Amino acid sequence: MNTILDFFLHLDTHLFAMIVDYGPWVYAILFSFIFIETGLVVMPFLPGDSLLFAAGTFCAGVQNSSGETAGLSLWIVVLILILAAVLGDSLNYYLGKTIGLKILKWKVAGKQIVNQKSIDKTRYFFEKQGSKAIIIARFVPIVRTFAPFVAGIGAMHYGKFIQFNIIGGVAWVFFLVLTGYFFGNLPFIKNNFEYVILGIVVLSLIPMAIDIIRSKSK
């Protein structure tokens, strides 16, 4: 866990070293991180938002204290990460639809883990609000990993799911990668990179907090 936290807080340092050490293979590593975070419901703690921002920063070129420069291709990064995000959500949807529902119907002491009424409510929600949920979830850590899985459990129509999966994936990747590309090398951000990363996480949690407060007030 300490290794994961260190990687999360010092993404700029680790990504610089990976680009220098692995060259073009870094694109495969970035693809894998985003695919796993969005595709496996048990991996919601991976730093997706901050990784996209950091990747965008390196697309503009980053120079270390020794004068060595590491860079990535903006369009390769954008394309492979959109692909990773869309394929990851699709896998998560498939796991929810094929395995998730079976797990929820397991019985403990003669009672189903989740009652059929709750499952029916989930299906109804994704019929009515599923498109909005899939797009908004992209920008909320943890929730973005669970949303496609729950959409699969809720039997959201795949044609509808993939449409908004693509829209959400494109918006998420473009926004964070381009934000990193244009602002990541500003002196203030470079000197406070770990705080910027934490700030991105906090900001991305705000929509979920607002929704929870609204639900409670109702």
Could you read off the pLDDT of 13-25 as tens digits, one per residue? 678 888 888 889 9
Mean pLDDT of the chain: 79
- Output the pLDDT for position 106: 65
Number of domains in the chain: 1
Predicted pLDDT at 85: 95
pLDDT on residue 109: 61
More confident residue, 71 or 81: 81
pLDDT tens by residue, 172-206: 999 999 988 998 778 777 677 667 767 776 776 67
Region 132-151: mean pLDDT is: 81
- pLDDT higher than 80, residue 26: yes
**pLDDT for the residue 97:** 87
What pLDDT is recorded for position 141? 76
For range 126-149, the mean pLDDT: 77
Q: What is the 3-state secondary structure (H, E, C) of the chain?
A: CHHHHHHHHCHHHHHHHHHHHHCCHHHHHHHHHHHHHHHCCCCCCCCHHHHHHHHHHHHCCEECCCCCEECCCHHHHHHHHHHHHHHHHHHHHHHHHHHHHHHHCCEECCEECCCHHHHHHHHHHHHHCHHHHHHHHCCCCCHHHHHHHHHHHCCCCHHHHHHHHHHHHHHHHHHHHHHHHHHCCCHHHHHCHHHHHHHHHHHHHHHHHHHHHHHHHC
More confident residue, 72 or 134: 72
Over range 25-54, report the average pLDDT. 86
The whole domain housing 105 covers: 2-217
Report pLDDT for 35: 94
Residue with the bigger pLDDT between 100 and 28: it is 28
- Which pLDDT does position 65 carry in this prediction? 67
pLDDT of residue 146 exceeding 70, the answer is: yes
Burial class (CB in 10 A: 0-12, 13-18, 19+), 214: exposed
* Out of 96-105, 164-173, 203-212, least confident range: 203-212
pLDDT exceeds cutoff 70 at 152? yes
